Amino acid sequence: MKFSKSVGIVSYGTYIPIARITGEQIAQSYGEHHTSAPKQLGVYSKSVPAVDEDTITMAVEAGSQCLKDWTPRQRAQIGALFIGSESHPYAVKPSGTVVANALGLPETLAMADLQFACKAGIQALLLCAAYSVAGMATYGLAVGSDTAQAEKGDVLEFTASAGAACFGVGTTRLRARLIGALSIATDTPDFWRKPGYDHPHHAGRFSGEPGYFAHTILAAQKLMKELSLQPSSVDYCVFHTPNAKFPKVAAHKLGFTPQQLQYSLPVETIGNTYSAAVMIALAQVLDHAKKRDRILLTSYGSGSGSDALFLEVQ
């Protein structure tokens, strides 16, 4: 879909816990069997949350960064807050109410906690864009925040990390305009956690081709066709980063160069922050992008689905 009205990213903020553990340290705890994992995954260290950090506290930190230059009048015009995560602290009680209170947001506020594995944060961004275009909110805040878990000895232990990102969305004061977006979803069960399980489980054979690649590549191709885009039309590409290997393969299959992907791999040093991952990668690209640079972003959420977005830096 091509957006007929001007809407996009007004501001953004991120938060990553300061503590790190290296892939080498993890591998040493399991002996020789895992020593090649960091290199194979392209993830050499990951963030580790402190004992008092969770999805809510990190969302507040990212939100504070996002709003640091907003005036009281602009903050009062925030009419929506959506938080994507697969590690909300409460099974029944919204994270959003705590975050809204901590950030001093208005009581007149559309709000929901979202869950679609690692793509829930980008879905939150699209919801905020829809609210703004429809006139239901002047501004919205979209958050992706996770403290990812992994079972002891699982390969996910090398990548599952913690972090948050918050994007202010609206129709004025744009830093990046959202030109088009497209979403796909299928019932491809590559990753899940049932009630009462302490850790997620995954069917490794579904993680690559039927899961990640089938959805990210299809969503990107469909949006590029709809907007008449070629890889050369794009300055930067951003893909979800479960590791550093998958986005490189996806970019290559779609005809993008390593230069177009160069700022999109914070995963190498912070790990996979799940719902925040592709948003943190986008934030890093925006830190380096110039006016009129064009960005193609494709999220991925296990289970499975992808959102493809095309943005132009303002």
Q: Mind telling me the catalytic residues?
A: 86, 118, 240
Taken as a whole, the chain contains a residue count of 314
Closest CA to 176 of 296, 39, 26, 15: 296
Phi-psi region of 289 (alpha: psi -120 to 50; beta: other; left: phi over 0): beta
Q: Determine the Cα–Cα distance for residues 230 and 64; give it in Å rounded to an integer.
A: 37
Q: Determine the Cα–Cα distance for residues 46 and 20; give it in Å rounded to an integer.
A: 5
In the block, which residue shows the tokens 């990210």?
Answer: 216
Q: For the stretch 277-292, what's the b/e string if a residue is b when 16 or more beta carbons lie within 10 angstroms of its beta carbon?
A: bbbbbbbbbbeebeee
Cβ contact 200:191 at 8 Å: yes
Provide the residue type at 245 as one letter: K
Closest CA to 45 of 21, 9, 74, 29: 21
